[in-house]
Amino acid sequence: MISVDAHRETVTGLLGNAPVIRLPLASAAGPGIAEDVRAGVSLPPFDNSAMDGYAVRAADVTEVPVTLPVAEDIPAGRVDITKLEPGTAHRIMTGAPLPPGADAVVMVEHTDGGVTDVRVLRTAVPGAHIRRQGEDVVEGTVALSAGTVLGPAQLGLAAAVGLAEVPVFRPLKVLVVSTGTELVDAPEPLRHGQIYESNSIMLASAIRALGCEAEVLRSVVDDVDEFRAVIEPRLADVDLLVTSGGVSAGAYEVVKDALTGQGVEFRKVAMQPGGPQGCGRWNGVPVVTLPGNPVSVLVSFEAFLRPALLAAMGHAGVDRQRVRARLTEAMTSPAGRRQFRRGFYTHSEGEVTGIVGPRGGPGSHLLASFTQANCLIVLPEDVDSVDQGDEVDVLLL
């Protein structure tokens, strides 16, 4: 048996990094940025007003109330800005450039709101309500560092510093294949001995949620020649093949039988569920083979594929958030294996640690309980039992 960490490293190494492409911001959400990106302009690009009000010299409003002539009107977007003469005010709106000569803004609420003359009711200190050039980002500095994931805030900043495109790792194309002669697609009626196929939609949606592309081949029968004939021609178009089923110790293990000796290695990983795993290259294309039980599939995705795909797409952080939590009930775990159990984690305000309870038993066919889970409880290799109230590691999904 090999360790979970060793297999994860192998899978991550297999995928490597996707090629770098430049995408317009509108299509760039999801992947990590591939290179450091520098700001083309400072943010703010110029000193401007933080309030609707009046640009003044602080020295002119030390004795209040005082009335000043309004010499200019500066809405946001005005670009021909003239100097503020001593003893005058410019009416100014939020985001409009501060006129040279002004060193403070009095908010409109502290005036009579006048248009030709303004009565200022409160004093202002120098710098009041002024947003300084470069306060947020300085032109030429790194605005987004390599590996930063492009979510709404990051895309917003990229837009604000004047970028139209960003360098990202090209989203990987993954071919998802389910194997099993027993598998049937709805709405076809089930005959006794058949089940509905559910792994491919789980894998495809999990893969797409990371920003990768997924193509799906539902239910390939357990026949080695047919498996090879159907899948081999499609390898050239994809970056990764992910299969489920057909890798355990029984007979009719189609994936194992078809790919052993073709560059894919099958091994037992010290985990539960998800022990039988395989990975390698088939015709040069990375292949990750997962076991067939639906819970094993999702746990294997979490343990191996998710971090590998995120790393390939340049994410600096690939791990789920890990927290400690107190167990609501005792559990056992097979010695020498890392157990992942579906759990529900809650954290009340004021508590130092949250609490977590298992959802469903360890059986890897118990998919319904996964739908009630929001985390995986991780019981390490050297633990074979935990008591109610013990603290355990929890991965938040």
Q: Report if residue 245 touches Mg ion, rule: CB under 5 A.
A: yes
Gap between the Cα atoms of 293 and 287, Å rounded: 18
Q: Which stretch in 70-78, 180-188, 202-210, 351-359 sits in contact with Mg ion by CB under 5 A?
A: 180-188
307-330: b (≥16 Cβ within 10 Å) or e? bbbbbbbbbeebeeeebebbbeee
The β-bridge partners of 344 are 357
Tokens standing for 386? Answer: 């935990």
Residue with tokens 């590691």: 393
Q: Report if residue 273 touches ligand AMP, rule: CB under 6 A.
A: no
Residue window 179-198: x/- pattern of binding to ligand AMP, with contact defined by CB under 6 A: -x-xx-----------x-xx
Closest distance of CB 216 from ligand AMP, Å = 11
Closest distance of CB 3 from ligand AMP, Å = 21
Using CB under 6 A, count the residues that bind ligand AMP.
Answer: 16
The β-bridge partners of 289 are 243, 278
Closest distance of CB 340 from ligand AMP, Å = 17
Closest distance of CB 181 from ligand AMP, Å = 9
Q: Report if residue 44 touches Mg ion, rule: CB under 5 A.
A: no
Tokens standing for 379? Answer: 């019981």
Q: Which stretch in 112-120, 131-139, 176-184, 339-347 sits in contact with Mg ion by CB under 5 A?
A: 176-184
> How far is C-alpha 173 from the chain's CA centre?
18
Closest distance of CB 200 from ligand AMP, Å = 6
Residues from 154 through 183 that contact ligand AMP (CB under 6 A)? 178, 180, 182-183
Closest distance of CB 254 from ligand AMP, Å = 8
Q: Which stretch in 70-78, 244-252, 267-275, 278-286 sits in contact with ligand AMP by CB under 6 A?
A: 244-252
Torsion angle, CA of 190/191/193/199, rounded to 10 degrees? -20
**Bridge-based pairing state of the strands 271-272 and 89-92:** unpaired
Q: Report if residue 246 touches ligand AMP, rule: CB under 6 A.
A: yes
Q: Report if residue 199 touches ligand AMP, rule: CB under 6 A.
A: yes
Closest distance of CB 294 from Mg ion, Å = 12
- Report whether 341 contacts 358 (CB < 8 A): yes
Gap between the Cα atoms of 193 and 14, Å rounded: 37
Q: Which is nearer to ligand AMP, 49 or 296 (CB)?
A: 296
Phi, psi of 348 (to 5 degrees): -85, 150
Q: Report if residue 362 touches ligand AMP, rule: CB under 6 A.
A: no
Q: Report if residue 248 touches ligand AMP, rule: CB under 6 A.
A: yes
Q: Which is nearer to ligand AMP, 246 or 286 (CB)?
A: 246
Closest distance of CB 4 from ligand AMP, Å = 19
Q: Report if residue 180 touches Mg ion, rule: CB under 5 A.
A: yes
- Report whether 333 contacts 361 (CB < 8 A): no
Gap between the Cα atoms of 327 and 313, Å rounded: 35
Q: Which is nearer to ligand AMP, 149 or 183 (CB)?
A: 183
Q: Which is nearer to ligand AMP, 32 or 246 (CB)?
A: 246
Q: Which residue, 291, 318, 286, is CA-closest to 302?
A: 318
Sign (positive/negative) of CA torsion 251, 253, 257, 263?
negative
- Report whether 377 contacts 318 (CB < 8 A): no
Write out the residues near Mg ion by the rule CB under 5 A: 180, 245-246, 292
